[in-house]
Amino acid sequence: MFKNLDIDLLRTFVAIADLGGFAKAGRHLHKTQSAISLQMKRLEAQSGSKLFRKAGRRQLLTESGELLLNYARRILSLNDEAAAALKPIPLQGQIRFGVTQDFADRGLAAVLARFADSHPGVRLDVRVNPSCELKQEIAKGKLDLAVAFQERGDSGDSLGKLQLSWIVPEPFNEPNDQPLKLVLFEPPCVFRDRVINALEKASMSWRIVYTSPSLPGLLAAVEAGLGVTARLSNRNRNRNRNPVASLPELQPVELAVYRNPQATPAPLDALEKITRAHIQNNLEDLV
């Protein structure tokens, strides 16, 4: 009946032969010399042969030890080759990832950290732009994946609906008979559409006094008292939410993922899966 030789013992045995002794092999393998000696006694028991002989303070290979060394090297080589062949190939490549400003503020960091930890070989090119620009870049093949707000007729895959609320200066003066002053993104913009549609439906007069392509620009204008705007509800944690009864309720917006069908699937599948899971598991924190 054949005996099985322990791979770990053979690896220690080869280290002793290559490094010139039990002590040096122990330091290399982070094991004590007594642990190395115990391993070699076990290997001698498994092989049924004396593998070392003493020559003063040194341990030299016996004839059987030299014979086993040749086989040990071949066994370890085949073992390591098989392990490498079966190991999953790390994802490589580059992904052009576009996100809207609201998601960049709320969930992007967590998604990037998880993806980088799982797939360090993939390089990410991240762009933060308005939703309309992101969808155009997907259509033109300039982005591989995007998280953007969905409008009617868009081809994105919905991730969920998010509630909007008004953001007003403090203190806020009722418009009375004057048009409501609005601070909005430049068109096209789904938030802009929601605000204007709500005011039109409520038969309220309005005028746009300030536009900006950036979210910080909008919030600064509101803080300066130029007018009102609307953003996702959590944006108002430190502000009054719908503080004025005369302002109409706003319809929610829909967040969606857009994908370039021509992009390399393997790394893109991984990023899309992580992005979807984060948004859907944290939807209440995004609104």
| pLDDT of amino acid 41 | 93
| pLDDT of amino acid 92 | 66
| pLDDT of amino acid 284 | 65
Q: Which two tokens stand for residue 285?
A: 């924190």
Q: What is the CATH number of the domain that holds 15?
A: 1.10.10.10
What's the domain range around 209? 164-251
Single residue among 45, 65, 86 that ends a domain in this structure: 86
Low-confidence ranges of the chain (pLDDT < 50): 235-242
- Tell me, rounded to whole angstroms, the distance of Cα 260 from its chain centroid: 18
Residue 266's H or E segment, with its range, is helix 265-281
How many structural domains does the chain have?
3
Centre a 10 Å sphere on the Cβ of residue 107 and count the other Cβ atoms it contains: 21
Give the chain's largest Cα–Cα span.
106
pTM (two decimals): 0.61
Per residue in 34-90, pLDDT (tens digit) is 999 999 999 999 999 999 988 877 888 999 999 999 999 999 999 988 887 777 656
Q: What is the CATH number of the domain that holds 177?
A: 3.40.190.10
Residue 1 placed within a domain: no
| pLDDT of amino acid 91 | 63
| pLDDT of amino acid 9 | 93
Q: Which two tokens stand for residue 94?
A: 């580059």
